[in-house]
Amino acid sequence: MHAGAQHGGPLSGIRVVDLTSMVFGPYATQIMADMGADVIKIEPPGGGDATRYINDGPTPELGGVFTNVNRGKRSIVLDLRQDADRAALRALIATADIFIHSMRGKAIARLGFDYAAVSAIRPDIIYTNCYGYSRRGPDADKPAYDDTIQAECGIPYLQGLMTGQPDFAATIMADKISGLTALYATMMALFHRERSGEGQEVEVGMFETMAAFMLTEHASGMMFTPSLGPAHYHRVVARNRKPYRTKDGYVAALVYNDKHWNAFIEAVRPAWASADFDTLAKRAKQIERVYGHLGETFLERTTQEWLDLLERLHIPAAPLRTTDELFDNLHLNAIGFFETIEAPYGPVRYPGIPTWFSRTPGAVAGPTPELGAHTEEVLGEIGLGADSL
């Protein structure tokens, strides 16, 4: 039994053939594995997924990024330039529910594993393409990485409105959001198959995903004809929108709606309070002034004094923490968020499952596979010996 099936998650019994690399596709399939799917990661000879070698890890081929987004999967090495290896992949596809890849359209077609070829082997398969840009447009074959997609979708531009200097978000936002989109799109297609018996092809483009994501709040006045204003949400690009400096640190607080605002003004009684700011509509039109005044006021007390007061007032607030501190977070540890898995290379403390199910809970599917660790095992399951390659 593969690692992911041991906890009986909602995808137990589903087999995924995973030809994705880097983070976009592997993040989607990592969640599938955590939810019980048998995810078989196909890696090329000569080093496997390049992400294996990024960031710190217990061995040179198990860098931290790879270790997290490929946990609980089974790794097999196939050279898809070779006839025998392609035949092995076709045999594996015949047993699969989902086929997901992150190659360019022309490349996967050249190898003989486009949707037409794969669905001929398994007609009810869910076939998910993870692309940089939709193959239906003129940029279909452009290479794409998180940084370039962030730039295409205006993220550095919006950061520049806040800071005066275009900057990338300090996280691979496009990769991860696209991975979540690939996950939900694949699950919707799987749901349709469970009701109708029909497989289908799914396409998820990073550019299109991030355009939709960014325009959720930033489309704003540009949605209307004629345009009623620029495509950005004024509050979130305000230059004074930042963690407030206190006497001894920083605090994030959102004194935003009228209930919170009135409670804050009554408790603190700042000298600048006036009828100019007494409704959300008024504050929204002069948000820079509002943030500026609040920034001056937060300098007057310590972080803990502010946190105590804001908690009493039921105003959302949090101290500024580092990412290291997440591993010691009281709330996360209280709910058992981190899961320690024993692996051949030592124990690994994985960030856990952010969702909860009353009947079919997910769990970290198991340790991250070393390159090709399951080739013989998986081929044996489909009636092929290692000498068949």
pLDDT digits (tens, 9 = 90+) for 87-140: 999 999 999 999 999 999 999 999 999 999 999 999 999 999 999 999 999 999
pLDDT at 389: 74
> What angle do the packed helices 173-196 and 206-218 form, to 10 degrees?
100
Cα within 13 Å of Cα(144), Cβ side: 31
Cα dihedral: 290, 295, 301, 306 (round 10): 60
Longest dimension (CA), the chain: 81
Which band of pLDDT confidence, cut at 50, 70 and 90, is reported for residue 253? very high
pLDDT at 245: 98
Domains and CATH numbers, the chain: 3-213+329-388 (3.40.50.10540), 244-319 (no CATH)
> pTM value?
0.94
Taking phi first (over 0 means left), then psi (-120 to 50 degrees means alpha), and beta for anything else, what does residue 361 get?
beta
Q: Which two tokens stand for residue 65?
A: 């990024």
* 6-10, 251-255, 321-325: least confident range: 6-10
On the question of pLDDT at 35 being above 90, the answer is yes
- 373-377 CB contacts, 8 Å cutoff, 24+ apart: 373/74, 373/75, 374/40, 374/74, 374/75, 374/76, 375/75, 375/76, 375/77, 375/78, 377/74
How far apart are alpha carbons 122 and 29 in whole angstroms? Answer: 20
Cβ of 343: how many Cβ atoms within 10 Å?
Answer: 17
First vs last C-alpha separation in the chain: 24
